[in-house]
Structure 1
Amino acid sequence: MRLLVTGGAGFIGSHFVKRVLGAADVERVTVLDALTYAGDRTNLGDAFLSPKLEFVLGDVCDRDLVDALVARHTAVVHFAAESHVDRSLSTAGQFVTTNVIGTQTLADAAMRHGIERFVHVSTDEVYGPLVDGAATEDFPLRPTAPYAASKAASDLVALSYWQTYRAPVCVTRSSNNYGPRQHPEKIIPLFVTRLLRGEEVTLHDRGQHVRNWLYVADNCAGIELVLRQGVPGEVYNLGGGTDLTSREPTGELLKICGADWDRVTCIPDRLSNDIRYAMDWSKIATLGYKPARDFHASLEETVAWYMANPDRWTPMSRNPLPAIPSARTASPALEGQHA
């Protein structure tokens, strides 16, 4: 297998690259990454010691570059995306360009060159908030924030290439990932790095938002499983075993970092902060997928990485988020979602 991995210098992509480099049937792994603020060559670390690895600096929207790269490979795993909800509230156009146009550019090249496998990596946020129950893969897409909307659109673009051209596209939708090397704009590394600096952390509303937490290595195992065994045209939800309100991992992080709740401040909710995500991932379980990592143990390991590597995350923390407005008064249709 000759594998092109877009966004392979990012958080999840770099973990995936390191995983597949060890596979005997993988002849080459080419990483295409634009190295925006969230991408970093050092995420790949000792992967560069492998003669199988090639790194290409470039944009998934660059049609000529993408076409040339896809022509040399037999499979594609597409991680490259703008991925932070808060940033999408102020720079939505950038999200649409990278996530939608970038996906279309890649899928078009995959169709023209007869790629054997194409995995498009997405998120549970495309399903929108659920008061109860869990979203299966055929659940309606009801994204709220611009980020989630751009990912939903990119999912549909990718799947359209299966429906129209029979390009062998599969889509994975994962819940919240965490683990070493994650950019400190995301909640777990944001809280860890602030606590390690002796700063306060803030919870939106009263910390009641529910998310499912999936260790990054488990997500990568699921993505590889879909790459190898997924049925073209199908979507696969990838979840973990841990549904928590945002207060719960906050409490765990306070304990691990030796802090208390005096370091936590509750602030007004931000715009479009969905109250609850939940997915049914029984479909991929039939392929043998099962998250292997315990949340509490892997959270301690994650914190230990940030404690040991301040040189890695301190520069990232200097790239502040744009100012994000707080949520407006809920409309009747949203009553109860931000309680």
Structure 2
Amino acid sequence: MKKILVTGADGFIGSHLTEALVREGYDTKAFVLYNSFNSWGWLDHCSDEIKGKFEVFAGDIRDPNGVRTAMKECDAVLHLAALIAIPYSYHSPDTYVDTNIKGTLNIVQAAKDLNIIKVIHTSTSEVYGTAKFVPITEEHPLQGQSPYSASKIGADQIAMSFYSSFDTPVSIIRPFNTYGPRQSARAVIPTIITQIAKGSRKIKLGAVHPTRDFNFVKDTVSGFITALRSEKGIGQVINLGSNYEISVGDTVQTIAKLMNVEIEIESDDQRFRPEKSEVERLWASNIKAKDLLGWTPEYGGMDGFEKGLKETITWFLDEKNLMSYKTGIYNI
């Protein structure tokens, strides 16, 4: 496989993945969301050695003709384009169905018709809902506790149905709570870091008792590339996680320690999910990724988490990066 299409290439994980593919020597096409500003999202800020070395296709994942056009002459598709903000899904669920479910249908339908060699579809740990057992394996029940997670369950099922029905070579990668440079402030780690970086010592948050399995973006990217190169992932759902559980509250204190500040947590009602929608516990089993793909996280455990947080904090403390974030408002 030489020519790779990355959908959602303008986003957080997608931009890191696009850069990594270029560095690995792949002929890379970046599918970005069309807009009148001709913005390529985070790819506008990619490193100098990457600029000019990838193709850009501006379109909309909801448009089947545009998707098919972008996929022509590509060998593989890494499908990351999605709406992912959970709070926004509460009041605009229809857009999540169109983008996440129908967008995925557009990808696998075109892949079937164009004889694409491999499709890697991006899932999310949110499809598991609150853990019924830990660590969470790929056999864990799926629970749509938010419109977002329900739309991703639908997208996963559409993708896998094409493997079962038409032998479309689909793999599903299911990352747990990816964090790192460029992440949106709608996520908890950037929310904490940016508030501290802007001088606040009273950090506004929602629930702090839920636990998460945070996966540094470099590990998530390496998981995608490992899956791209392996034949063993076809027809499989594979978790990418650090196999380490930490609460949001402990995450706050860890970040404060690394940034050498003392903070106070302030509850902000608008940041709480509805009670039955809150995912209380996430902790990944990554045994299948190790066994099938030979993938292991470089940022696992508490030491790895602190290492990833230090890299993330350093990036956010760069003024030209920090100025892109509106820390004074709640980012839905």
TM more than 0.5: yes
Cα distance in structure 2, aligned partners of 1:68 and 1:50: 21
Cα distance in structure 1, aligned partners of 2:115 and 2:59: 22
Q: Secondary structure of the residue that 2:245 maps to in structure 1?
A: strand
Cα distance in structure 1, aligned partners of 2:105 and 2:195: 38
- In structure 2, the CA distance between the partners of 1:319 and 1:111, relative to structure 1 (3 Å rule), is farther
Pairwise CA distance, 1:22: 2.0
Q: Which residue of 2 aligns with 1:119?
A: 120
Pairwise CA distance, 1:211: 0.3
Counterpart among 270, 276, 279 of residue 281 in structure 2: 276
Letter in 1 for 2:252: T
Pairwise CA distance, 1:267: 4.3
CA RMSD of aligned residues (A): 2.1
TM-score under structure 2 length normalisation:
0.89
Q: Which residue of 2 aligns with 1:41?
A: 43
TM-score under structure 1 length normalisation:
0.87
Say whether the 8 Å CA contact 2:242–2:284 is kept in structure 1.
no
Q: Which residue of 2 aligns with 1:301?
A: 311
Q: Which residue of 1 aligns with 2:216?
A: 215
Q: Secondary structure of the residue that 2:91 maps to in structure 1?
A: coil
Is 1:292 the equivalent of 2:295?
A: no
Say whether the 8 Å CA contact 2:5–2:30 is kept in structure 1.
yes
Pairwise CA distance, 1:50: 4.6
Q: Which residue of 2 aligns with 1:108?
A: 109
Say whether the 8 Å CA contact 1:203–1:246 is kept in structure 2.
no
Is 1:57 the equivalent of 2:58?
A: yes
Say whether the 8 Å CA contact 1:86–1:321 is kept in structure 2.
no
Q: Secondary structure of the residue that 2:267 maps to in structure 1?
A: strand
Cα distance in structure 1, aligned partners of 2:281 and 2:244: 13
Pairwise CA distance, 1:81: 0.5
1:138-163 deviation digits (Å, cap 9, x = unpaired) = 22211201111111110001111111
Is 1:79 the equivalent of 2:80?
A: yes
**Which segments of 5 or more consecutive residues in structure 1 lack a partner in the other structure?**
324-339
Letter in 2 for 1:290: T
Cα distance in structure 2, aligned partners of 1:183 and 1:288: 30
Pairwise CA distance, 1:258: 3.1
Number of corresponding residues: 317
- In structure 2, the CA distance between the partners of 1:94 and 1:45, relative to structure 1 (3 Å rule), is farther
Q: Which moved more, 1:211-220 or 1:229-238?
A: 229-238
1:198-255 deviation digits (Å, cap 9, x = unpaired) = 23322324x1101001100001111111111143211111101431000111001112
1:114-150 deviation digits (Å, cap 9, x = unpaired) = 0001000111110110154232212221120111111
Superposition pairs for residues 102-251 of structure 1, below 5 Å?
A: 102-199=103-200, 200-205=202-207, 207-229=208-230, 230-251=232-253
- In structure 2, the CA distance between the partners of 1:299 and 1:322, relative to structure 1 (3 Å rule), is closer
